[in-house]
Structure 1
Amino acid sequence: MKKTLITLLLFVGLAASAQVTIEKTKNNNDLKLSALPYYSYGKGVGLTTPDSLFQFNIRFRMQNRMSYVESEGESTIDGQIRRLRLRFDGYVGDPKFLYAIQLSFAPGDVGQAHEGENVNIIRDAIVFYRPNKHWNIGFGQTKLPGNRQRINSSGALQLTDRTINNARFTIDRDFGFQVHNLNEYLDKFSYNFKGAISMGEGRNSTKEPDNGLAYTGKVELYPFGAFKNNGTFFEGDLKREDKPKVMVSGAYQFNNKARKTQGQLGNYLFEKRDMQSLLLDAMFKYDGWSFQTAYMQRTAKDPVTYNPDDITDFKYVFTGHGLDYQLSYLFPSDYELIGRFSTQKVHKDIETFTPNINQYSVGVTKYIWEHTFKAQMEVSMDDLNYYNGDSRQIWLVRFQVEIGI
């Protein structure tokens, strides 16, 4: 417990001791925060007081989609507002003290309401201290420095949703402290270090407190310099890099006494478990071409937990690993072709409960105003292989429109 308190005090001390210098730019309401890489084509709608002591910026975005799904001879059609979000950000008193809020309203975002649990409207609510361009220090709830696709906004994806591995192995949002050290330059080797100490329970948790925390660390390397216009924050080479650019990164998290089946996500376990996550990413962009790959892994000792009142009732930590590969080309007409392959292997301790999956996806995207206004068409096939030798395929055809400011 003493070690935990000392670590938290170090985070606070770092924030208090950092140098207070930042360049103020007039009419700039487009805040770039490394923990909040929301994609934006413009600057949203903003207000700044005449004395420049307060700034308020508002944005919205929505995703409307229709899906056709076929499995084992049965087909279904679904239409829904997949995401509907409001984002507010700005500063109070001085641009070095920033805030960011994001709220979600669509059923697919909020999730089902269960008795005794919170309605998950709040996605981000965090205050930042940004003394200069090299440091971001945050306190509150937002995304942890995990895998690249999860960190990026869902509005900055080339296909209509993230991969099956991201759905199972990501570490997602949490409440706590974050410190990011940023060293990005367009024309030379660059690097970022990011760390977080968080509750480990996921967003909007009000369960009784315990003495288990989550510890996350990440390193990002740019051998040939950073991408144009924060190009790691969105998929596809929309800026058409005139020189090859590469990003490689690695993140690790230890979640002590986690309550949920996927750490920050999932259903509640019957007993707490320690979990470890390893997340590796690589990205390449050049002249309209884009390639990215990711490896994700979660491990836990004794992942299966049982109901003490009914031994036939159990819940398990989703352990295993997965690989993603994604290749695309953006034509001068702003049409883009995308192909993606994902493979997911579950750990032997849970292989009798859930299948291994291979997913094959192809898509076409038409960018109207880059990622903020686009139309997407995707066809995917999930190949599920079960422990007993059974298998089945799920086909998906989806059309989606994203629009926002």
Structure 2
Amino acid sequence: MKNSLQLLLLLCTVSIYSQVTIKQTKHDNDIKLSALPYYSFGKGIGLTSPDSLFQLNIRFRMQNRVSYIENDSENGAYDGQVRRLRLRFDGYVGNPKFLYALQLSFAPGDVGEIKDGENINIIRDAVVFYRPNKHWNISFGQTKLPGNRQRVNSSGGLQLTDRTINNAKFTIDRDFGFQVHNLNEFKDKFSYNFKTALSGGEGRNQTGKADDGIAVTGKVELFPLGAFTKDGTYFEGDIMREKKPKLLVSGAFQQNNHAQRAQGQLGNDLFERRTMKSVLLDAMFKYNGWAAMMSYMSRTTNENAVTFNPDDITESNYAFVGKGFDYQASYITKANYEFIARYSIQKVGEDIHTLAPNTKEYSIGVTKYIWEHAFKVQAELNYDTLDFFNGTSKNNWYLRFQVEIGI
């Protein structure tokens, strides 16, 4: 009892003399940064010092899912898991022009398998920004590169339960480095953004693998009919029910020099380094509850994509080269039920066509939005066909139920 009273007294003393107070202000706590297009609903939890010298915003989100999976020649199986569990902090220090953002992941699917000699992947984003005005974002640290549309979008802003097969293989994902974004978005007139990045090329949380190669990324985004409502570029589906047609077309290019991993910033280590070139094209349309997306992604290498172990020539690994198309369409009712269909084609490059299959993916889904993308219930049926070099094929499918919630 005595210890409890002492603890209560200590907490009261801290609350009286603390220099940090939680308060609701007229300003939106959400820090909108082009390199970190998290989906947000409401203002989260905000802490601002009385002298306004710093601000801290706190958010979390989680995805819980259960799937029934049936792969060709295998018995059906059930899988239940916390697919994503994220904790996010952002704010400013000293001046609102100097910002920071931190995102941590804790779910096993996020962190990945722990392997000897490799770093644990808890840190997803850790980046500082200088934002002199609304047109410029300059950043340094680890975060998403300005790549394909679906990867740039938060996984919390997806219509279906996961991204496409092409995103899984051809995305350029996160990296550590510098980025400069020039933003020129206007509500009802032609808008455009230019985004560039100079990064290490080895992906997130890499240490001890220094080399003489870097990745250079550039992206152009065009909005012929003006910007989307509530940053609608950064989430799928027309949940805002755009009153006027809105269109985005974008193109990105990256050259990753002397990459050490099979997918540039992702994948297993190669036995030899390869310079990789990625082309990423996207289009998005939204109007009155209807939405459509189309994407093209490709990766090539400067040499043969297959690499061999110099100590054992029978052991090999390869850079994943090839190209793919994604097509996606949806309609959301006034009761916030959304119906989605998606079709993906993936063709591997000639260097690896004896090692990896060509794939087609068909997906249909229904999503019920409770608090927009921040609280939603999703169901998805997915069917894949894999065609191998020797003429054989496999057909895999799964049925999935998922709940996402966050602040």
Q: Indicate the TM-score class for this superposition, using the shorter chain for normalisation.
A: over 0.9
Any idea what the Cα deviations from partners look like across 1:324-373, whole Å, max 9, x if unmatched?
Answer: 00000000010000000000000011000010000000000000000000
Q: Distance in 2 between matches of 1:337 and 1:351?
A: 35
Q: Distance in 2 between matches of 1:72 and 1:211?
A: 44
For 2:39, the equivalent position in structure 1 comes to: 39
TM-score normalised by length of structure 2: 0.93
Any idea what the Cα deviations from partners look like across 1:76-111, whole Å, max 9, x if unmatched?
Answer: 110000000000000000100000000000000000
SS in 1 for 2:283: strand
Question: How many residues matched?
Answer: 381
Q: Distance in 2 between matches of 1:207 and 1:266?
A: 17
* 2:158 alignment partner AA: L
* 1:228 alignment partner AA: T
For 1:390, the equivalent position in structure 2 comes to: 392
For 2:93, the equivalent position in structure 1 comes to: 92
Q: Distance in 1 between matches of 2:79 and 2:48?
A: 42
- Cα deviation for residue 27 of structure 1 reads 3.2
Q: Distance in 2 between matches of 1:379 and 1:299?
A: 32
1:326 to 313, 325, 328: 328
SS in 2 for 1:266: coil
Q: Distance in 1 between matches of 2:224 and 2:191?
A: 7
For 2:70, the equivalent position in structure 1 comes to: 70
SS in 2 for 1:43: coil
* 1:219 alignment partner AA: V
SS in 2 for 1:165: helix
Root-mean-square deviation (Å): 0.8
SS in 2 for 1:114: coil
1:357 to 335, 356, 359: 359
Q: Distance in 2 between matches of 1:86 and 1:377?
A: 25
Question: Where does structure 2 lack aligned partners over 5 or more consecutive residues?
Answer: 1-24
Runs of 4+ in 1 over 2 A off after TM superposition: 25-28
- Cα deviation for residue 281 of structure 1 reads 0.2
Q: Distance in 2 between matches of 1:302 and 1:354?
A: 15
Q: Distance in 2 between matches of 1:76 and 1:299?
A: 36
For 2:16, the equivalent position in structure 1 comes to: none
Q: Distance in 1 between matches of 2:354 and 2:258?
A: 25
For 2:232, the equivalent position in structure 1 comes to: 231
Any idea what the Cα deviations from partners look like across 1:150-185, whole Å, max 9, x if unmatched?
Answer: 000000000000000000000000000000000000
Q: Distance in 2 between matches of 1:120 and 1:138?
A: 21
Question: Where does structure 1 lack aligned partners over 5 or more consecutive residues?
Answer: 1-24
- Cα deviation for residue 26 of structure 1 reads 4.1
Residue pairs, 1:369-384, within 5 angstroms: 369-384=371-386
TM-score normalised by length of structure 1: 0.93
Q: Distance in 1 between matches of 2:96 and 2:153?
A: 24
Q: Distance in 2 between matches of 1:26 and 1:48?
A: 12
Residue pairs, 1:81-160, within 5 angstroms: 81-160=82-161
Q: Distance in 2 between matches of 1:92 and 1:191?
A: 29
- Tell me the percent identity: 69
For 1:52, the equivalent position in structure 2 comes to: 52
SS in 2 for 1:77: strand
Q: Distance in 2 between matches of 1:403 and 1:321?
A: 34
For 2:203, the equivalent position in structure 1 comes to: 202
